[in-house]
Amino acid sequence: MIQTPESARPSLRVLARQIGTSRQLLSHYLERWEKWQATEHRRAARQIRARAEAENRSVTPLEERDAKAHDLAAFRCRLESILREHLKRLQLDAKTGQLNKVQVKVLRLFGSRGYGEAQRILEGMGAMKQLEPICHSLPLAPVSPLDVRRG
C-alpha cells in the first residue's frame, strides 16, 4: 500500500470541515479504524468459507487464497492497532518523564524503521540525537511488532 507523505496530507481539521463534522469526531473514528478494518477482513474471510460450506463443497484454491489474504490483512490491521495504542502509551510516559531504557530502545527501533510517531516522541524528549549502535545490530529486513516482543 502506497501512502501519501504526511507533509502532503490535509489536516484533520480541514478534512472534518470538508465532510461536515468535527475534528474530535473524525479523530475518534480514525483511532478505531484499524480495529474496524480487521473485523471487516475477518468477516470477509468467514463469508468466503461459509459460502462454500453452504453449497456443500470444498473451498476452491482461488477462494482459499482470497480468504487467506483477508486473514492476513486482518492480522496486519490488528497489529497496527496494537502498535498505535502502545505508541500512545509511550507518548504519555514520555510527557511525564517516565520512560525506561527498554521503552526508549523500542522507540529508537521503530523510529529507525520509519514510524513517524516514534520519531516524534523521541524528538519531543530530545532522545533522537543519533540512532546509536542499536541500529548496527539490527537485521536489514523490516521488523514487525511481534519480533520486538520476542527480542
1-27 pLDDT per residue, tens:
566 777 788 888 888 899 999 988 888
Task: Express each pLDDT in 33-90 by its tens digit.
Answer: 888 999 999 999 999 999 999 999 999 999 999 999 999 999 999 998 888 888 888 9
Residue 1 has which C-alpha cell? 500500500
Query: What is residue 9's DSSP assignment?
Result: S
Listed by start position, the domains of the chain span: 11-79, 99-151
Q: How far apart are CA 83 and CA 110, in angstroms?
A: 10
User: Does residue 22 contact residue 16 with C-beta atoms inside 8 Å?
Assistant: yes
Task: Express each pLDDT in 84-124 by its tens digit.
Answer: 888 888 998 888 888 898 998 988 988 888 888 888 888 88
Q: How far apart are CA 35 and CA 40, in angstroms?
A: 9
